[in-house]
Amino acid sequence: MGESVTEVQISEWLKAEGEMVKPDEPVAVLDSAKSTFELPAPQAGKITKILRRAGDTVLVGEVIAEFEPGGSAAKSAGAEAAQPSDDDKSAPKAQPPAKAQTPPTDKEPPPEASGGKNGQAEEPPPESAKADSPKPEPSKPDAPPKPPAAPVVKEAKPDAKSSSSPAKPEVASGRGEEVVPMTMLRRTIARRLVEAQQGMAMLTTFNEADMSAVQAMRHEYQEAFEKRYHVKLGFMSFFIKAAVDALNQFPQLNAEVRADDIVYRNYFDIGVAVSTERGLVVPVLRNAEQLSFAELEKAVGDFSKRAKEGQLKPQELAGGTFTITNGGVFGSLLSTPIINPPQTGILGLHTIQDRPIALNGQVVIRPMMYIALTYDHRVVDGREAVLFLRRIKQAIENPARILLEI
């Protein structure tokens, strides 16, 4: 889990009690303060008992389920239900109750409040019955249960695959609400964003870049690049290269504030923001200055894929000296990104639009992108921020500068 992680939240059980699993097959989805990831089965076997349900917060090292290894000849719960044993066939069939009830298991003891042996709530006995007998008689299993005067069991325990989110209340007017607890990842994101707003003097400056040269280069070399490296040449590798070049020129944006000191780094660990269904994560490209275009594209693609599958490792999300976020993939035209503490800058990319611009005294249509730099004004002055963003613009509009390092 990583040394700094002490607890996680069970987001979802992917397997139910009695189900057979294969080696490394995901059995649960876990949320930590840094990431969401899947818990794999240690080997082939069967989940015999689930001890903690979805929505529970558990400590690292705590047992959340019991697992029986092996069982290659065993059948899954579904198969056993479909093919009953000879004893089951010979046994008389019980009459179905009026409403579907959850059968008792060692996983879920009947609620004490209900008093019934099958987990059903019973009607309180009359006063005369209380005087004659110290304990109420349980309802017969073959008799339909009588509705209680007031609900006794407030919430049924969900099965292994159910969500921890409460059901939407039914309101006659149709104006319902749904209360969904924040995941640990979402709580961490919220806390860090508020800390960034309160603890930094953030300011954003803007520019725009003509993407014609990058698009032309991608069009010309895409086939050869993909054939050789088995990955497509995207836009992100150009911006990572441009950012490393600009950070070399303006190290204040690759720094960190520690108490009353400014720490300058001579390495470039670039975080790339990836949006998932469970929240935003920022995996880090270590020593990005040493990676080629192909290595950058492969790493970014791998991060994006594994982030959506919940397979990123905690150490891949730690650290980072500068962050790039691309809202353009969702159609964002302009935004003011928030810095990822304790970094001092973040570069925001946006959607590419054909717009009219003045070029050499002529009005032409070019693919343009707005780019934004949010910086910590405690460390970075406006001059450095504006020149940094202009350096990014120059590198993107003339990619040869990146290769020649001029």
Q: Give the up-direction half-sphere exposure of residue 216: CA atoms within 13 A in the CB hemisphere.
A: 11
Residue type, 16: A
Q: How far is CA 315 from CA 4, 29, 285, 341, in A?
A: 10, 18, 11, 17
Q: Is 370 in contact with 208 (CB distance < 8 Å)?
A: yes
For CA atoms 265, 269, 272, 273, the dihedral sign is: negative
| Element at 403 (helix H, strand E) | helix 400-404
Distance, in Å, from the CA atom of 391 to the CA atom of 402, rounded to the nearest integer, reads 11
Tally of CB atoms within 10 A around 172: 5
Distance, in Å, from the CA atom of 340 to the CA atom of 320, rounded to the nearest integer, reads 9
Distance, in Å, from the CA atom of 386 to the CA atom of 247, rounded to the nearest integer, reads 13
Q: Specify whether 245 is catalytic.
A: no
Q: Tokens representing 270?
A: 């670039």
Q: Tokens representing 36?
A: 């969401």
Per the residue annotation, which of 56, 88, 219, 377 is the catalytic one?
A: 377
Bridge partners of residue 280, in order along the sequence: 275
In this prediction, residue 362 carries a pLDDT of 96
Q: Is 379 in contact with 263 (CB distance < 8 Å)?
A: no
Q: How far is CA 15 from CA 27, 103, 159, 169, 253, in A?
A: 5, 19, 10, 27, 46
Q: Specify whether 159 is catalytic.
A: no
Q: Tokens representing 4?
A: 């700094």
3-state secondary structure 301-341: HHHHHHHHCCECCHHHCCCCCEEEEEHHHHCCCCCCCCCCC
The structural architecture, per CATH, of the domain 202-404 is 2-Layer Sandwich (3.30)
In this prediction, residue 172 carries a pLDDT of 60
The structural architecture, per CATH, of the domain 7-69 is Beta Barrel (2.40)
> Which alpha helices (DSSP H) does 67-166 contain, by range?
77-82, 86-90, 127-132
pTM of the predicted structure, to 2 decimals: 0.64
| Tens-digit pLDDT string for the chain (406 aa) | 666 778 888 888 999 999 999 998 989 988 887 777 788 898 999 999 999 988 888 988 899 999 999 855 344 444 444 444 444 444 444 444 444 444 444 444 444 444 444 444 444 444 444 444 454 454 444 545 554 444 443 444 444 444 444 455 555 678 999 988 888 878 888 888 888 888 899 999 999 999 999 999 999 999 999 999 999 999 999 999 999 999 999 999 999 999 899 999 999 999 999 988 877 889 999 999 999 999 999 999 999 999 888 788 888 988 899 999 999 999 999 999 999 999 999 999 999 999 999 999 999 999 999 999 999 999 999 999 999 999 999 999 999 888 777 6
Q: Is 285 in contact with 291 (CB distance < 8 Å)?
A: yes
Bridge partners of residue 43, in order along the sequence: none
Domain ranges of the chain: 7-69, 202-404
Residue type, 134: P
DSSP state of 288: G
Are both 7-69 and 202-404 of the same fold? no
